[in-house]
Structure 1
Amino acid sequence: MAEQDRTRVPRGEARDRIVAAATELFGRQGYEATTTRQIVEAAQVTKGALYHWFSSKEELLTSIYRELLAEQTSRLKTIAAADTPADARLHLAVTDLFAHMDDHAEPLTVWARSMHLVAGEHAAAVRAERRRYQHLFQDLIEEGQKAGVFRADVAASVITNTFLSSVVQIHRWFRPDGPLTRRELGTQMVALFLDGVRVG
């Protein structure tokens, strides 16, 4: 596509193209090996369009993850606010988390493999968003402990961090061509986690 043709891409569509192209390239050849020029070529947009939306490749990577994390946080907030027992809400929360991860496996795997390369304000913004999710999750655990449905011999912070840390590390050992699909893996991890946290 010629440079003059690329300028005709609507701004919103250009952003979607950039995100899709970056996600595919980061996943296929790695974040560090991918250049902004390659992203621009794959997205068929101008370099100006890329820098209109993202100040750097680092911001592009971070934005992809932050949008998904914000979506996870919003979904958890809705689930946690429901008028149902804490154990039912926790079951729905962890099941929904794995469903969301399955729906967005490629960009979330890209982030998990590349997050150690992000620093400064971008890393701080991610940490802040992750803390919001973590606090909502921990509050739900504490509510269940007070209601007597979750074991209280382990601190809610330990339960929360152990579970969420295990989720973050899935990319290190899960193989798409292995014996389990992502959905099947999620079902087994949900069962293992809930059996470990429930009283009795």
Structure 2
Amino acid sequence: MTKTTTSPTPARGPAEHDVRDQIVAAATEHFSRYGYEKTTVSDLAKAIGFSKAYIYKFFESKQAIGEMICTNCLAEIEATVVAAVEQADGPPEKLRRMFKAIVESSLRLFFQDRKLYEIAASAATEGWQSTLAYEQRIQALLRDILQQGRHSGDFERRTPLDETTMAIYLVMRPYLNPLILQHSFDHVEEAPARLSGLVLRSLSP
């Protein structure tokens, strides 16, 4: 059978994945050019060459498309952070690298593609599941580093682990949340080293 984008019945299996990916790729390009807030599903349908009804067979709303794009953007940031942590030797250096990678990756999203940044801002404002899941994974990564540091003797063990994790996460959060990030530009160059240094001193056994 030959897949056609004008069929009223969506393709199944791998072909359906291809269509979803095609919609997301086209939407990413369209949002990058015109912005997320100003674009309707009708606008998107015209740009892609699909009918509005056909798009709704794959995504229930514009937000659902935005969620997918947001998930992809956050996955790139997360991959960069994880790679930086994995390349470091010892928990203290892992924590330093984590701070640095988060700030640099978040700023790259803000400055390189301001239109896609609008999606991230909407996600943060409305509490999209993609954003919440990303924050939870970052917290889990941080918790693992702290746990490793406690086992190696680099970090203190008196404070409950969950309490320490959340406190340090709140220090990082201005560089994770796009709504707060835009108010933190004055100190982005020095922030990773100063904040991680302060945190590491507080973690001394």
TM-score range, shorter chain: 0.5 to 0.7
Q: CA deviation at 1:67?
A: 1.4
2:9 corresponds to which residue? none
2:50 corresponds to which residue? 46
2:126 corresponds to which residue? 117
2:146 corresponds to which residue? 141
CA distance in structure 1 between the partners assigned to 2:194 and 2:155 by the alignment: 14
C-alpha contact (below 8 Å) 2:124/2:131 kept by paired residues? no
1:128 corresponds to which residue? 133
Unmatched segments (≥5 aa) in structure 1: 1-5
2:42 corresponds to which residue? 37
Q: 1:163 aligns with which of 166, 171, 187?
A: 171
CA distance in structure 2 between the partners assigned to 1:172 and 1:84 by the alignment: 31
C-alpha RMSD over aligned residues: 3.5
CA distance in structure 1 between the partners assigned to 2:51 and 2:183 by the alignment: 35
Q: Tell me the number of residue pairs that the alignment of Structure 1 and Structure 2 aligns.
A: 178
Q: CA deviation at 1:85?
A: 1.4
Normalised to the residue count of structure 1, the TM-score between the two structures is 0.67
1:3 corresponds to which residue? none
Unmatched segments (≥5 aa) in structure 2: 7-17
Q: Which has the larger radius of gyration?
A: 2
Give the letter for the 2:49 counterpart.
V
1:193 corresponds to which residue? 195
Q: CA deviation at 1:57?
A: 0.4
CA distance in structure 1 between the partners assigned to 2:137 and 2:183 by the alignment: 30
2:31 corresponds to which residue? 22
Gap change, CA 1:130 and 1:79, over 3 Å in 2: same
1:56 corresponds to which residue? 61
Identity %: 13
